[in-house]
Structure 1
C-alpha cells in the first residue's frame, strides 16, 4: 500500500512506521486516513511482533492538528475528524503486537494522544515538549486524550494537564509516568531499535495475548477480568511458542520462538 506521508520499513519482526508531513506532522483528514490505513496494515502483518511509530522530521513527532483545517470544520465535521483519529489510535491498543512511540520531537495534542495509545513511550531528552494544550485554544482533546491520560498518570495529574492545557519537558513527563524512558538524541534511533529487537526476540504470540488480556480486562470487575485472562491463556497454549518455551525449559536450552 502506498502513502503520501508515511513509510513502512520491516527489519526482522520489527516494523517502523515513519511519519513525514512537514513541517511538524500536523494532523488533518488525509493524514488521519493514512494513519488508519497504515495501522490497519501493520495489524494484519503476521510476521511482525513489534511496531515502532516515529517521525522522519528533526524536531517534531506530531506537534498537533492542522489548526487551519480544524477552524473551518462545522460540528459534524469535527465529530467525524475526532472519530477518525480515535479509530486510528484504537487500532494500536487492539493489535496483538507491542507498539512503541519513539518520540523524537514535540508531541502535542494529537501527537500526545497517539503516544498515549501506544504500549511504550520512549522520548528524546532535551527541549521537546509533550502535552495536551487544547484547552488554551478553546477546544478539547478529541483523539482519546481525556480518557487515556487519566488511566496512565492518574485522575488528579491528568485533570491538571487537561484543564490548564499544559505541556511539559521530557523530564517532567518521565517523573509523572507519561513517558517510560528518556534517551539522548544521538543514541535515540539505535536504542529504540535495540529495545524493539529485544522484545521481538520473545514469544510474539504470548506478548500479544498478554497485551490483549490487560487492555480487555482492565476496566472489568476482577472475576470478569480473570475470565478474560483464562480465555487468552487457553488460546496461547495452542501456539508453537508456548509448546517450544515449555519444552526448552525442560530440556534446559534456549527456546526458539517463531511468533507462531
Structure 2
C-alpha cells in the first residue's frame, strides 16, 4: 500500500511503514495528512497487529517540519526589498507565520494519530531524528536506534524556536522532567548509547542489526493480545486528562470491553493449562 511518500508492507502481523520524502522526510501539511490517513488504515487492518515505522534514507529518520515549502498561494508581493533588512525580514515573516502555524497544527495532529493508534508502534531509527523527528519517535511506543552517525534530540531552541510537535509534553513522560528540561533548553543531540542510558530510546543496536532487532521486538508485540495492548495504550495516553477515580473507572470499562474476547479466553485458558498462549488479535 503506497500513499504519497509512505509505503506500507505487512507480513506475519507486522506492518512496516517506510517514509520516503526527500531529502529527509520533512513534515509538510500534505505529508502529515497522508500519515494520519495511513494510521487510520492501519487501525482498521486486522492483519497488522504491530507497526514499525522506518525511513528509506540512511542519513535521516525524520528532520522535522519543512519550513522551506510554502503554499502556492503565499503572497509575498509588495514587499519593499530596498528597506533595511530587518524590516524586510519582519514583513516577510509576518506573511509566512500563518503557514508555519498550519504546518505545526498538522504535525501535532500527526503525532497524536501515531500515539493514539490502538496497536504498538516501533520507531526504527537508523538516521538523525531531530526536532520534529524526535517528537515523532516520542509518539511511538518503542524506539530502536542504531549506533554510529544517528543522533536524536529536540534541537529547536538552538534555532530560536521551541519543540512544538508535542516534545515538551511527551519527553518528560519518557525521561523525567529534570532530564527533559536539560535536553530541551540545551538542544542537546544524543547518540544511541547515551539516549538509551537515560531512557530516551528503548534499545541501542549496531547498524547491521537494526532491522533484525526491530523486527524481533515487533514480532513479540504482534504475537500479543492486540486489543488488550490497545486498551493499555489508551489508559496510559489518557492518564493526565483524568483524575485517579476516572482512570480507575476507565480500567473497569476496558476490562468489560475485553471480557469474552477470543484473546482473553485464550489467555485465561493457557494460564490454567500451563501453556504458552496463542493470540489471534481477536
- In the superposition, the TM-score normalised over structure 2's length comes to 0.86
The answer for the alignment partner of 2:40 in structure 1 is 40
The Cα RMSD (Å) is 1.8
Contact 1:65–1:110 (Cα < 8 Å) also in 2: yes
The answer for the alignment partner of 2:163 in structure 1 is 141
The answer for the alignment partner of 2:69 in structure 1 is 69
- The count of residues paired between Structure 1 and Structure 2 equals 260
Distance 1:36 1:77 in 2: 19
- Matching of residue 190 in structure 1 with residue 176 in structure 2: no
Distance 2:109 2:170 in 1: 14
The answer for the alignment partner of 1:243 in structure 2 is 265
Q: 1:174 Cα deviation (Å)?
A: 1.1
Matches within 5 A, 1:120-159: 120-159=142-181
The answer for the alignment partner of 1:50 in structure 2 is 50
6-15 vs 72-81, greater mean Cα deviation: 72-81
The answer for the alignment partner of 1:101 in structure 2 is 123
The answer for the alignment partner of 1:210 in structure 2 is 232
TM-superposition CA deviations, 1:170-207 (whole Å, max 9, x none): 22211111101101111110111111111111211111
169-178 vs 210-219, greater mean Cα deviation: 210-219
Q: Give the match's secondary structure for 1:69.
A: coil
216-225 vs 235-244, greater mean Cα deviation: 216-225
- Matching of residue 221 in structure 1 with residue 243 in structure 2: yes
Q: For 1:166, which of 188, 191, 196 is the aligned residue?
A: 188
The answer for the alignment partner of 1:22 in structure 2 is 22
Q: For 1:83, which of 105, 110, 113 is the aligned residue?
A: 105
- In the superposition, the TM-score normalised over structure 1's length comes to 0.93
Distance 1:52 1:220 in 2: 29
Q: 1:218 Cα deviation (Å)?
A: 4.6
Between Structure 1 and Structure 2, whose CA radius of gyration is higher? Answer: 2
Distance 2:156 2:240 in 1: 27
User: What runs of 5+ residues in structure 1 fail to find an aligned partner?
Assistant: none
Residues 197 and 135 (structure 1 numbering): CA distance in 2 closer, same or farther, change over 3 Å? same
250-259 vs 17-26, greater mean Cα deviation: 250-259
Q: Give the match's secondary structure for 2:257.
A: helix
Distance 1:243 1:218 in 2: 31
TM-superposition CA deviations, 1:79-128 (whole Å, max 9, x none): 22111111111112212100111111100111100000011011011221
Q: 1:219 Cα deviation (Å)?
A: 4.7
Distance 1:136 1:250 in 2: 56
